[in-house]
């Protein structure tokens, strides 16, 4: 007997084939279903490259329009999700090159995305990961969690957190780093 | 591996600190903008329905004119050559698994292990025909004008809006149809007149002697597999092992005729083959003899073989 997860996975693959066939035939219902499913996650993904909402929304909308215009010649070797993520990533990188803002924008995320090419097939979307992430955060030692949340959710810089908690900046760096490693440990199975 | 880990860390980092608030992204507005650009060749029913509700009165006249035009052009097209049948899609399932799929007309099909189903990407008007080899359970979307037809070896089943199970494995000489809901008509190849079946009935057709019989039955047990269950209700042990063998693609033979007719009741849910065999041996006086899997001439492993003896 297949496990529930295996059955589900086969179901997803089949559904994806069905969606692609419909899309190629020009089924607007399937197109809007895909849009509803992926739009927010793709905008959020784009914002890790360029943290500007309007621009990211424009990019994702163009990606979808292109998906529609090219639907008959669409050649997807991996998955729709991976195809869409790659398209958004490439548009964002084009935009960054275009603006030549690389040097001014040394956020951690940007630095990473530039050096390592991400594997879109195995990238987990915001809406899939978020809930599990919250469960894992609850399992962290309180000090690590506090620093991590102040930085990631509160948007405070390491320096500001250090001042608030009256510890050194280096301590904050260590706590956040450890929090991240522990989170990955908790979520390891989820990444598959 | 290292790269994988790095990516996962990055993935968590991105999701935890998304620079935008997802609640501030207006998906509906964006969808409207994009749909403006999209010129569909097929529209789904939902958007059409919403549209209809909003402008029912204005639409009535053009709709009438439209249907008039369609009716007239349909008449004119009657002499036109029939379009070539659309290419068929095929779905296969490995042994020991089952899947649920959606057909293009909105019907659902569950395909049991070791089965193949062929269906067109879009059904042509008139008949919704699918081809089955193996076992499948169908929940057919109601549409009396376009009957749903399952073709399999030796017979075909016609339905409009019903649920039923068809079992027609290639190496079996018995084809069975079990009715869950609604009404169906079964047509056997040859001169036999069509047979109407009602819920709770099960038809078994023997391909060798071309005979069939219909019995009342507890219909669910015949398609419980779609929910991951294997159900036995006072079934002889011989049948129990045949069913398990079919599910997991192994060969099980009961070597002692004194136990083969023992009746057995059980329900197994998502259990592995080993676990099922263990549970059976705990509740019946049997033991197993396992044979090593042999390699066939083409280098493939042959089926695992298990013999059952009285303990």
* A148 contacts in chain B (CB < 8 Å): 16
In this structure, which CATH number among 1.10.10.10, 3.40.50.2300, 3.40.50.1000, 1.10.287.70 belongs to the domain A126-191?
Answer: 1.10.10.10
Closest-CA residue to B89 (of B58, B125, B131, B61) = B131
pLDDT digits (tens, 9 = 90+) for B105-129: 889 999 998 899 999 888 888 889 9
What are the structural domain ranges in chain A?
4-122, 126-191
Q: Bigger pLDDT: B69 or B142?
A: B142
The SS3 assignment for A11 reads helix
Please check whether residue B23 lies inside any domain of the structure. Answer: no
Q: Average pLDDT of B244-268?
A: 84
Q: Are residues B248 and B293 in the same domain?
A: yes
The ipTM estimated for the assembled molecules is 0.80
Final residue of a structural domain among B221, B245, B275: B221
Q: Are residues B248 and B208 in the same domain?
A: no
Q: Does A74 touch chain B (CB under 8 A)?
A: no
Q: Are residues B38 and B145 in the same domain?
A: no
The SS3 assignment for B152 reads strand
Going from the C-alpha of A126 to that of each of A37, B15, B99, the distances in angstroms are 12, 5, 28
Closest-CA residue to B118 (of B165, B162, B151, B145) = B151
Q: Bigger pLDDT: A172 or A188?
A: A172
Distance from CA of A152 to the nearest CA of B (A): 4
Q: Are residues B110 and B209 in the same domain?
A: yes
Please check whether residue B17 lies inside any domain of the structure. Answer: no
According to CATH, what is the number of the domain A4-122? 1.10.1740.10
Q: Are residues B36 and B116 in the same domain?
A: no
Q: Average pLDDT of B3-30?
A: 85
Distance from CA of B249 to the nearest CA of A (A): 11
Pairing type for strands B174-181 and B201-206 reads: antiparallel
- Domain span at residue B158? 88-221
CB A174 within 8 A of CB A141: no
Q: Per DSSP, which regions of chain B are E strands?
A: 88-92, 99-102, 108-111, 116-120, 128-139, 148-152, 155-159, 163-168, 174-181, 184-188, 195-197, 201-206, 211-216, 229-236, 251-254, 263-269, 286-291, 305-310
Distance from CA of B212 to the nearest CA of A (A): 31
Distance CA B303, CA A166 (A): 69
Q: Which of A44-58, A112-126, B164-178, B286-300 shows the lowest mean pLDDT across its residues?
A: A112-126
CB atoms A47 and B3 under 8 Å: no
Q: Does A31 touch chain B (CB under 8 A)?
A: yes
The residues near B300 (Cβ < 8 Å, ≥ 6 apart) are none
CB atoms B9 and A14 under 8 Å: no
Q: Are residues B286 and B189 in the same domain?
A: no
Query: Nearest residue of B to residue A37 by CA position?
Result: B27
Please check whether residue B202 lies inside any domain of the structure. Answer: yes
CATH number at residue B273: 3.55.50.30
Q: Bigger pLDDT: B83 or B18?
A: B18
Distance CA B58, CA B250 (A): 64
CB B131 within 8 A of CB B92: no
Question: What percent of chain A clears pLDDT 70, i.e. is strictly above it?
Answer: 82
Count of domains in chain B? 3
Q: Are residues B92 and B214 in the same domain?
A: yes
| pLDDT at residue B84 in the model | 54
Distance from CA of A107 to the nearest CA of B (A): 11
Of A2, A31, A187, the CB nearest to B96: A2
Q: Is the pLDDT of residue A6 over 60?
A: no
Outline where B86-154 has alpha helix (H). Answer: none
Any idea of the CA torsion for A42, A45, A49, A51, to the nearest 10 degrees?
A: 90
| pLDDT at residue B13 in the model | 87
Q: Are residues B189 and B128 in the same domain?
A: yes
Q: Are residues B240 and B306 in the same domain?
A: yes
Distance CA A163, CA A100 (A): 34
- Confidence tier at B44 by pLDDT (50, 70, 90): very low
Q: Are residues B243 and B302 in the same domain?
A: yes
Q: Bigger pLDDT: B147 or B258?
A: B147
| pLDDT at residue A62 in the model | 94
Encoded tokens for A144 = 């690590």
Distance CA B215, CA B200 (A): 8
pLDDT digits (tens, 9 = 90+) for A48-64: 888 889 999 999 999 99
Encoded tokens for B140 = 């057919």
| Residue whose tokens read 């290292």 | B2
CB B12 within 8 A of CB A133: yes
CB A118 within 8 A of CB A57: no
pLDDT digits (tens, 9 = 90+) for B167-190: 988 777 888 999 988 889 998 887
Final residue of a structural domain among B221, B256, B283: B221
CATH number at residue B175: 2.60.120.1440
Please check whether residue B301 lies inside any domain of the structure. Answer: yes
pLDDT digits (tens, 9 = 90+) for B188-234: 887 778 889 988 899 988 888 888 888 888 888 889 888 888 888 88
| Residue whose tokens read 């047990």 | B221
Final residue of a structural domain among B221, B252, B277: B221
Distance CA B250, CA B242 (A): 9
CA gyration radius, chain A: 20
Q: Average pLDDT of A87-103?
A: 80
Q: Is the pLDDT of residue A192 over 50?
A: yes
Q: Are residues B215 and B236 in the same domain?
A: no
| pLDDT at residue A8 in the model | 52
Closest-CA residue to B273 (of B298, B299, B303) = B303
């Amino acid at each position: 007997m297949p496990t529930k997860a295996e059955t589900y996975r086969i179901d997803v693959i089949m559904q994806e084939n069905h969606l692609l066939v419909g899309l190629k035939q020009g089924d607007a219902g399937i197109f809007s279903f895909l849009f509803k499913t992926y739009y927010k996650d793709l905008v959020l993904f784009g914002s890790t490259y360029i943290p500007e909402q309007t621009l990211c929304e424009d990019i994702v909308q163009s990606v979808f329009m292109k998906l529609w215009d090219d639907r008959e010649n669409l050649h997807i070797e991996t998955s729709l999700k991976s195809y869409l993520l790659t398209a958004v990533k490439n548009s964002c990188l084009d935009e960054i090159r275009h603006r030549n803002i690389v040097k001014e924008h040394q956020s951690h995320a940007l630095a990473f995305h530039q050096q390592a090419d991400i594997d879109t097939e195995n990238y987990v979307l915001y809406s899939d990961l978020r809930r599990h992430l919250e469960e894992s955060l609850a399992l962290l030692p309180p000090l690590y969690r506090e620093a991590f949340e102040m930085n990631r959710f509160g948007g405070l810089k390491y320096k500001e957190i250090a001042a608030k908690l009256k510890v050194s900046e280096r301590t904050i760096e260590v706590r956040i780093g450890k929090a991240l490693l522990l989170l990955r440990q908790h979520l390891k199975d989820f990444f598959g | 591996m290292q790269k994988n880990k790095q990516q996962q860390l990055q993935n968590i980092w991105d999701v935890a600190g998304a620079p935008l608030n997802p609640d501030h992204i207006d998906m509906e507005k964006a969808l409207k903008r994009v749909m403006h650009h999209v010129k569909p060749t097929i529209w789904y029913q939902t958007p059409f329905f919403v549209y209809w509700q909003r402008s029912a009165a204005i639409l009535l006249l053009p709709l009438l004119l439209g249907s008039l035009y369609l009716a007239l052009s349909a008449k004119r097209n009657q002499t036109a050559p029939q379009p070539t049948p659309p290419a068929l899609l095929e779905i296969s399932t490995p042994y020991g698994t089952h899947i649920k799929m959606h057909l293009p007309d909105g019907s659902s099909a569950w395909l049991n292990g070791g089965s193949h189903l062929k269906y067109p990407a879009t059904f042509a008007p008139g008949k919704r025909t699918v081809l089955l080899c193996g076992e499948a359970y169908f929940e057919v979307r109601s549409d009396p004008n376009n009957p749903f037809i399952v073709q399999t070896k030796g017979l075909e089943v016609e339905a409009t809006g019903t649920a039923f199970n068809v079992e027609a494995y290639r190496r079996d000489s018995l084809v069975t149809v079990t009715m869950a809901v609604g009404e169906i008509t079964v047509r056997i190849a040859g001169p036999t007149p069509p047979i109407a079946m009602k819920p709770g009935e099960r038809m078994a057709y023997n391909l060798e002697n071309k005979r069939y019989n219909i019995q009342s039955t507890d219909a669910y047990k015949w398609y419980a597999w779609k929910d991951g269950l294997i159900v036995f209700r006072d079934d002889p042990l011989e049948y129990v092992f045949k069913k398990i063998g079919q599910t997991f693609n192994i060969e099980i033979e009961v070597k002692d005729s004194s136990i083969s007719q023992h009746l057995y009741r059980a329900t197994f849910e998502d259990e592995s083959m080993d676990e099922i065999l263990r549970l059976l041996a705990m509740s019946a006086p049997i033991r197993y003899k396992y044979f090593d899997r042999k390699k066939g001439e083409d280098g493939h492993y042959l089926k695992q073989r298990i013999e059952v003896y009285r303990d």
